[in-house]
Amino acid sequence: MSGEENTAVQEIDIFYERLTEETAATGYHLNPDTEFTKALITGLIENEKRYGYSSCPCRLAARNKDEDIDIICPCDYRDPDLAEHGACYCALYVSDAVLKGEKTLSSIPERRLPPEERAAKKSPSPKARIEGLAYPVWRCRVCGYLCAREVLPDTCPICKAKKERFEQFI
Protein backbone atom coordinates (compact mmCIF):
# COMPACT_ATOMS: atom_id res chain seq x y z
CA MET A 1 0.00 0.00 0.00
CA SER A 2 1.43 3.43 -0.96
CA GLY A 3 1.92 6.18 1.63
CA GLU A 4 -1.01 8.11 0.12
CA GLU A 5 -3.35 5.12 0.32
CA ASN A 6 -2.22 4.51 3.87
CA THR A 7 -3.09 8.10 4.83
CA ALA A 8 -6.51 7.76 3.18
CA VAL A 9 -7.23 4.57 5.14
CA GLN A 10 -6.11 6.26 8.36
CA GLU A 11 -8.30 9.27 7.62
CA ILE A 12 -11.34 7.03 7.08
CA ASP A 13 -10.59 5.09 10.27
CA ILE A 14 -10.24 8.27 12.34
CA PHE A 15 -13.52 9.64 10.93
CA TYR A 16 -15.20 6.30 11.59
CA GLU A 17 -13.99 6.18 15.22
CA ARG A 18 -15.12 9.78 15.85
CA LEU A 19 -18.53 9.18 14.31
CA THR A 20 -18.95 5.94 16.26
CA GLU A 21 -18.27 7.80 19.53
CA GLU A 22 -20.53 10.70 18.62
CA THR A 23 -23.43 8.51 17.58
CA ALA A 24 -23.12 6.38 20.72
CA ALA A 25 -23.09 9.53 22.88
CA THR A 26 -26.14 11.00 21.17
CA GLY A 27 -28.32 7.90 20.97
CA TYR A 28 -27.94 7.23 17.25
CA HIS A 29 -26.54 4.10 15.59
CA LEU A 30 -24.21 3.69 12.64
CA ASN A 31 -24.92 0.92 10.18
CA PRO A 32 -23.21 -2.17 11.71
CA ASP A 33 -21.89 -3.19 8.26
CA THR A 34 -18.47 -1.60 8.76
CA GLU A 35 -17.34 -1.95 5.15
CA PHE A 36 -20.52 -0.28 3.86
CA THR A 37 -20.30 2.46 6.51
CA LYS A 38 -16.67 3.19 5.69
CA ALA A 39 -17.55 3.45 1.98
CA LEU A 40 -20.11 6.15 2.85
CA ILE A 41 -17.58 7.88 5.09
CA THR A 42 -15.14 7.90 2.16
CA GLY A 43 -17.81 9.74 0.15
CA LEU A 44 -18.30 12.26 2.97
CA ILE A 45 -14.55 12.93 3.18
CA GLU A 46 -14.34 13.34 -0.61
CA ASN A 47 -17.27 15.76 -0.63
CA GLU A 48 -15.72 17.75 2.21
CA LYS A 49 -12.53 18.11 0.15
CA ARG A 50 -14.38 18.79 -3.11
CA TYR A 51 -17.01 21.28 -1.90
CA GLY A 52 -15.77 22.40 1.50
CA TYR A 53 -18.67 20.70 3.29
CA SER A 54 -19.62 17.05 3.79
CA SER A 55 -22.72 16.82 1.64
CA CYS A 56 -24.68 13.57 1.51
CA PRO A 57 -22.76 10.90 -0.43
CA CYS A 58 -26.01 9.59 -1.96
CA ARG A 59 -27.29 12.86 -3.37
CA LEU A 60 -26.15 15.18 -6.13
CA ALA A 61 -24.67 18.33 -4.60
CA ALA A 62 -25.36 21.78 -6.06
CA ARG A 63 -21.80 22.83 -5.13
CA ASN A 64 -23.33 25.72 -3.26
CA LYS A 65 -23.40 25.49 0.52
CA ASP A 66 -26.58 27.53 0.94
CA GLU A 67 -28.45 25.30 -1.48
CA ASP A 68 -27.00 22.13 0.00
CA ILE A 69 -27.34 23.12 3.66
CA ASP A 70 -30.15 20.60 4.21
CA ILE A 71 -28.04 17.69 2.91
CA ILE A 72 -24.87 18.30 4.90
CA CYS A 73 -24.47 15.11 6.89
CA PRO A 74 -26.33 14.49 9.14
CA CYS A 75 -29.02 15.87 6.84
CA ASP A 76 -32.34 17.43 7.84
CA TYR A 77 -34.07 14.23 6.71
CA ARG A 78 -32.19 11.73 8.86
CA ASP A 79 -34.51 11.70 11.86
CA PRO A 80 -37.83 11.41 10.00
CA ASP A 81 -36.35 8.68 7.79
CA LEU A 82 -35.05 6.81 10.83
CA ALA A 83 -38.49 7.01 12.43
CA GLU A 84 -40.37 5.96 9.30
CA HIS A 85 -37.99 3.61 7.48
CA GLY A 86 -35.45 2.56 10.11
CA ALA A 87 -32.53 4.19 8.29
CA CYS A 88 -31.45 7.45 6.72
CA TYR A 89 -31.57 7.74 2.93
CA CYS A 90 -28.00 6.36 2.56
CA ALA A 91 -28.43 3.89 5.45
CA LEU A 92 -25.39 5.33 7.22
CA TYR A 93 -27.58 5.65 10.31
CA VAL A 94 -29.99 2.92 11.36
CA SER A 95 -32.67 2.73 14.04
CA ASP A 96 -32.57 0.68 17.22
CA ALA A 97 -35.05 -1.79 15.73
CA VAL A 98 -32.87 -2.33 12.63
CA LEU A 99 -29.77 -2.73 14.77
CA LYS A 100 -31.51 -5.39 16.88
CA GLY A 101 -32.78 -7.20 13.79
CA GLU A 102 -36.42 -6.43 14.62
CA LYS A 103 -36.91 -4.49 11.41
CA THR A 104 -35.55 -5.20 7.93
CA LEU A 105 -34.27 -2.45 5.72
CA SER A 106 -35.77 -1.80 2.33
CA SER A 107 -35.15 1.03 -0.12
CA ILE A 108 -35.79 4.48 1.32
CA PRO A 109 -37.70 7.00 -0.79
CA GLU A 110 -36.19 10.47 -1.25
CA ARG A 111 -37.81 12.85 1.24
CA ARG A 112 -36.03 15.95 -0.02
CA LEU A 113 -38.31 18.13 -2.13
CA PRO A 114 -37.30 19.44 -5.56
CA PRO A 115 -35.54 22.86 -5.42
CA GLU A 116 -38.63 24.99 -6.25
CA GLU A 117 -40.72 23.30 -3.56
CA ARG A 118 -37.89 23.63 -1.04
CA ALA A 119 -37.65 27.35 -1.71
CA ALA A 120 -41.41 27.77 -1.23
CA LYS A 121 -41.26 25.94 2.11
CA LYS A 122 -38.54 28.11 3.70
CA SER A 123 -38.86 28.59 7.46
CA PRO A 124 -41.17 31.36 8.74
CA SER A 125 -39.71 34.85 8.76
CA PRO A 126 -38.55 36.41 12.03
CA LYS A 127 -41.74 38.52 11.79
CA ALA A 128 -43.31 35.61 13.64
CA ARG A 129 -41.24 36.54 16.70
CA ILE A 130 -43.44 36.71 19.78
CA GLU A 131 -43.63 40.18 21.23
CA GLY A 132 -41.93 40.59 24.58
CA LEU A 133 -39.75 37.47 24.28
CA ALA A 134 -36.41 38.18 26.00
CA TYR A 135 -34.38 36.06 23.55
CA PRO A 136 -34.80 34.70 20.07
CA VAL A 137 -35.44 30.95 19.92
CA TRP A 138 -33.15 28.89 17.68
CA ARG A 139 -33.96 25.47 16.29
CA CYS A 140 -31.49 22.82 15.14
CA ARG A 141 -32.76 21.73 11.73
CA VAL A 142 -31.16 18.32 12.15
CA CYS A 143 -32.62 17.11 15.46
CA GLY A 144 -35.13 19.80 16.45
CA TYR A 145 -33.23 20.95 19.56
CA LEU A 146 -34.50 24.39 20.68
CA CYS A 147 -32.66 27.01 22.66
CA ALA A 148 -33.50 30.61 23.63
CA ARG A 149 -30.37 32.74 23.64
CA GLU A 150 -28.87 35.86 22.11
CA VAL A 151 -26.27 34.00 20.05
CA LEU A 152 -26.29 30.59 18.46
CA PRO A 153 -24.41 27.68 20.03
CA ASP A 154 -21.34 26.67 17.98
CA THR A 155 -22.47 23.06 17.96
CA CYS A 156 -25.80 21.44 18.73
CA PRO A 157 -25.36 19.76 22.14
CA ILE A 158 -27.70 16.96 21.09
CA CYS A 159 -26.70 15.89 17.58
CA LYS A 160 -23.42 17.82 17.17
CA ALA A 161 -24.59 19.63 14.01
CA LYS A 162 -22.69 22.86 13.39
CA LYS A 163 -24.10 26.31 14.11
CA GLU A 164 -24.98 26.93 10.44
CA ARG A 165 -27.64 24.21 10.71
CA PHE A 166 -29.73 26.31 13.09
CA GLU A 167 -32.64 28.48 12.02
CA GLN A 168 -34.54 31.12 13.93
CA PHE A 169 -37.69 29.46 15.20
CA ILE A 170 -39.32 32.41 17.00
Counting residues that bind ligand SF4 (by CB under 6 A) gives 14
Would you count residue 98 as binding ligand SF4 (CB under 6 A)? no
Exposure b/e, 75-91, CB count within 10 A at least 16 = b: bbbbbebbeebbbbbbb
Say how far apart CA 149 and CA 48 lie, in whole Å. Answer: 30
Among the candidate windows 16-24, 84-92, 99-107, 128-136, which touches ligand SF4 by CB under 6 A?
84-92
Q: Which residue lies nearer to ligand SF4 by CB, 29 or 129?
A: 29
Kind and range of the H or E run holding 137: strand 137-140
The least CB distance from residue 156 to ligand SF4, in Å, is: 14
Kind and range of the H or E run holding 22: helix 3-26
Burial of 49 (0-12, 13-18, 19+ CB in 10 A): exposed
Would you count residue 152 as binding ligand SF4 (CB under 6 A)? no
Integer-rounded Cα radius of gyration of the chain: 17
Q: What is the footprint of ligand SF4 within residues 28-47 (CB under 6 A)?
A: 40
Q: Which residue lies nearer to ligand SF4 by CB, 90 or 143?
A: 90
The least CB distance from residue 9 to ligand SF4, in Å, is: 20
Q: How many residues does the chain have?
A: 170
Would you count residue 94 as binding ligand SF4 (CB under 6 A)? no
Would you count residue 74 as binding ligand SF4 (CB under 6 A)? yes
The least CB distance from residue 88 to ligand SF4, in Å, is: 3
Would you count residue 88 as binding ligand SF4 (CB under 6 A)? yes
**Residue pair 164/69 in contact by the 8 Å Cβ criterion:** yes
**Residue pair 30/23 in contact by the 8 Å Cβ criterion:** yes
Q: Which residues bind ligand SF4 (CB under 6 A)?
A: 40, 56, 58, 71, 73-75, 77-78, 88-90, 92-93
